[in-house]
Chains A and B, each alone.
Chain A
Amino acid sequence: MSDALADWKPDVLGVEGQVLPVVTAPAGVLSSAGAEVDPADPAIVQLAADLVATMRVSPGCVGLAAPQVGVGAQVFVVDVTEHPKTVTAHGTFVLCNARVVEASRWRPGREGCMSVPDLTGDVKRAGRVVVEAVLPGTGEPVRLTTDAFEARALQHEIDHCAGKLFLDRVAGAHAVYQRKVYL
């Protein structure tokens, strides 16, 4: 893992994030591939801060990608630190232009999405991934190796940046579930 990521905190963005409304399916932006971004662009730095702010006010949210706030860009935030299925965790971080460069240990698992609020689905994901990306602001390249739930979250968010939802990967006709309504 790159030290750049270990030292990374949302504060280094140097701007205050705004909480943005979360877009839900069917919305075109969720199904369009996001553009590669210039990580030094002030608009991208602001977007990174906004994603962090929006994730933090959303209960149970472990990751949020730019298309989910209506922006077709390859930027997302992840923080799985508090999740019980997490093994390795790198805290809160925002990545731009991320790619999965190695994937192994494929496992099924149930996942949901703030942009598909009423459904969950069983999706096979790699339990170990290597992801390459650049950091917002500095543009510093990072190479991140992780596993378990953080690996799943990264794949889910990278999918968002490519215009894919978990619905595009569910394991079968009976692998989509109505989310229980808790009143």
Chain B
Amino acid sequence: MNELAITVIGPDRTGIVADVSEALAGLGANLSDSTMTRLRGHFAMTLICTGAAADDVEKALAPISGLLATVRAVAPEADTDAAGEPYLVSVHGADRLGIVAAVTRVVAAAGGNITDLTTRLTGPLYVLIAEVDVPPGSADDLAVRLAVAAQELGVEVTLRRAESDVL
């Protein structure tokens, strides 16, 4: 089925999610996966929809006040390859240029795939939490490389196994 990747961002106000999802529903577009959050006063939505044409969605979102929206047709998800081992990376320290770039480059170089990542800047403190799928058996090596990068950046880093208890 035709999938659309949609991003919407704008100054936060009440009713953004309702406005956007109503516009999508009006076109018969089905909202499958989405993430929506507030980033420093901006409300950001990233979503995957099915069942509507990109042009129609663009037209439907355009009149909603204060929002910048992009719509793009995308190929459906490929079969995911062999899963790595789930790990969590925490980084915190004084804000400086390039923390995310340096840390994620180290993760990528080790074959780690970032599946989720959040950063927060509060005052002088920069915090990065990433969920990473790491190739089996390579976590110790990644931990060493992260420690080296963290020392260069003057930040603290922790790599630990993510728990996923099935209940």
Contacts and interface: CB of A to CB of B under 8 A. Distances in A.
B122 A178 contact: yes
Contact of B118 (A26, A116, A171, A176): A176
A168 interface: yes
B121 to A, nearest CB: 10
Max chain A CB contacts within 10 Å: which of B92, B118, B158?
B92
Interface residues of B, number: 24
B15 to A, nearest CB: 21
A26 B88 contact: no
B90 A118 contact: no
A119 interface: yes
Contacts of A168: 90, 92, 156, 158
B124 interface: yes
A26 B123 CA distance: 10
A155 B92 CA distance: 20
Nearest to B132: A173
B135 to A, nearest CB: 20
B125 A116 contact: yes
Contacts of A118: 122-123, 125
A13 interface: no
B33 to A, nearest CB: 14
B90 A119 contact: no
A148 B151 CA distance: 36
Contacts of B131: 172-173
Interface residues of A, number: 22
B79 interface: no
B92 A173 contact: no
Contact of A119 (B116, B120, B155, B156): B120
A119 B160 CA distance: 20
Contact of B120 (A117, A124, A178): A178
B129 A170 contact: yes
A103 B40 CA distance: 38
Interface string A158-179: 0000001101111111111010
B130 interface: yes
Nearest to B155: A26
A176 B131 CA distance: 13
A117 B125 CA distance: 10
Given A26-B92, A119-B120, A119-B122, A172 B127 contact: no
Contact of A172 (B120, B123, B126, B162): B162
Given A167-B92, A173-B130, 7 more contacts: A24-B123, A25-B92, A26-B155, A31-B93, A119-B122, A165-B156, A175-B129
13 contacts: A24-B123, A25-B92, A26-B93, A26-B125, A26-B126, A26-B155, A118-B122, A167-B92, A167-B129, A170-B129, A171-B162, A173-B129, A174-B118
